Amino acid sequence: MHRLRIALAQINVTVGDLEGNKQKVLHHLDRARALGVDLIAFPELVITGYPPEDLLFKPAFIEANVNCLHEIVVESQGLAAIVGFVDAQDDLYNAAAVIHDGTLAGVYHKHYLPNYSVFGEDCYFQAGQTSSVFVIRGAAVGVSIC
């Protein structure tokens, strides 16, 4: 039986404040490390804030969000983290980076994009098609967004 100590970082971030949001993530990585956490999970689109809406039409914003993710990856030594960001492949995806001990282990793309009431994600993102299972300290971990 594997023991996995998990922290949920329910933090309040600001839409568009990439640097401020990144600093909050880094602060909570440090806290998690000090508490002996194995895996810390952050909110959906924690780097960009939710919902980023028309900011997604700015290529510089998307690139800066990815740069923030890479800085977070470098600072993640000693633990695993799930960090929400906007992934730009052939299109844009609402994504979760699975980070492990200073490396990007994988990326999950959100499958079900809401399009009702105040939600209009399918106007901005493509739906993901694949799911992955990651092994962290011997435990199988699946990732889902929302």
Enumerate the active-site residues: 44, 110, 146
Rounded Cα gap, residues 94 and 51, in angstroms: 10
Do the Cβ atoms of 76 and 59 come closer than 8 Å?
Answer: no
Q: Hey, is 24 helix, strand or coil? A: helix
Q: Cβ-count burial of 137 within 10 angstroms (0-12 exposed, 13-18 middle, 19+ buried)?
A: middle
Rounded Cα gap, residues 53 and 48, in angstroms: 10
Q: At what angle do helices 59-74 and 18-34 cross, to 10 degrees?
A: 20
State the residue for tokens 């967004």: 145
